[in-house]
Amino acid sequence: MMLDVENLRVGYGSLEVIKGISFNVREGEIVTILGSNGAGKSTTLRTISGLHRAGSGRIAFNGEDITRSSAARIAGSGLCMVPEGRQLFPDHTVLENLELGAFRRLRAGQSRAVKQDMDELLEMFPRIRERVNQKAGLLSGGEQQMVALARALISRPKLLMLDEPSLGLAPILVRSLFDTFKKLRDSGVTLLLVEQMARMALSICDRAYVLESGTVMTSGSREEILDHPGVLEAYLGKAVNA
């Protein structure tokens, strides 16, 4: 088991947001967490990556307990998150932002491999290639989202957690993005995906968990979830035309 979350509880002050959830992610899988706004999806990811303290419960990454580890340590062990809302270094150029993402690999002397990955990433996001020497803060919202993704990918994470990666991206890009996720999975990266475009997420994932008010309402393989009438109704919209 790559990621194992057991009976996790998280709160803000007196308000409990995550009320004892358990789930896991196996190596080489794409797992998606669905749920409406306020269900606790982002909080779950933030807690796993060490940005928020767990109230109780246990989080293990590759068998190692990381429940109380610092965010930097967790990221260093290969568990990387792309946060909702970009969070780039606005005064640095796009290229510098990407190099910061590769910081650990560059320090380990993998500059040739980093360069190759960089080329591949820029291939994937041609819009960024045009702006590689511009300050990240001057990019449009969607372009910043692409840079944030590229910055996470270039660190070659073992497990990549994505919080709403499609946010603000044009439809044509959303498609290529999800194709990229599939390619990443095939190249050995494990993905944990929080996404409001549930249909998109379900089209590429292996398994899904559905959160509701801080608890796991249902879970199962992609097919099981797609057959689940309640989920279809609530998260996929009624006008299904796919």
In the list 60, 106, 132, 236, the residue contacting another protein (rule: CB under 8 A) is: 236
Binding segment toward another protein, per CB under 8 A, in 32-40, 48-56, 211-219, 221-229? 32-40
Q: Which is nearer to another protein, 47 or 190 (CB)?
A: 47
Cβ 121 to another protein shortest distance, Å: 16
Six-digit token pair at 63? 């068998």
Six-digit token pair at 155? 């660190």
Cβ 70 to another protein shortest distance, Å: 18
Residues 6+ away with beta carbon under 8 Å from 123:
129
Instruction: Please say whether the beta carbons of 35 and 41 come within 8 A.
Output: yes
Burial 130-166 (b: 16+ CB within 10 A, else e): ebeeebbeebeeebbbbbbbbbbbbbbbbbbbbbbbb
Radius of gyration of the chain (CA): 18
Binding segment toward another protein, per CB under 8 A, in 19-27, 95-103, 113-121, 142-150? 142-150
Binding mask 68-107 for another protein (x = CB under 8 A): ----------------xxx---------------------
Cβ 231 to another protein shortest distance, Å: 11
Distance of alpha carbon 81 from the chain centroid: 5
Q: Does 133 bind another protein (CB under 8 A)?
A: no
Six-digit token pair at 128? 């960024």
In the list 20, 55, 57, 168, the residue contacting another protein (rule: CB under 8 A) is: 168
Size of the site for another protein (CB under 8 A): 46
Instruction: Please say whether the beta carbons of 57 and 8 come within 8 A.
Output: yes
Cβ 175 to another protein shortest distance, Å: 5
Binding segment toward another protein, per CB under 8 A, in 101-109, 182-190, 213-221, 229-237? 229-237
- HEC per residue, 47-86: HHCCCCCCCEEEEEECCEECCCCCHHHHHHCCEEEECCCC
Binding segment toward another protein, per CB under 8 A, in 53-61, 70-78, 131-139, 183-191? 131-139
Q: Which is nearer to another protein, 13 or 63 (CB)?
A: 13
In the list 27, 38, 64, 76, the residue contacting another protein (rule: CB under 8 A) is: 38
DSSP string over 153-193:
HTT--SEEEEESTTTT--HHHHHHHHHHHHHHHHTT-EEEE
Name the residues that contact another protein, by CB under 8 A.
12-15, 35-39, 42, 84-86, 127, 131, 138-143, 145-146, 164, 167-176, 196, 198-200, 203, 234-237, 239, 241-242
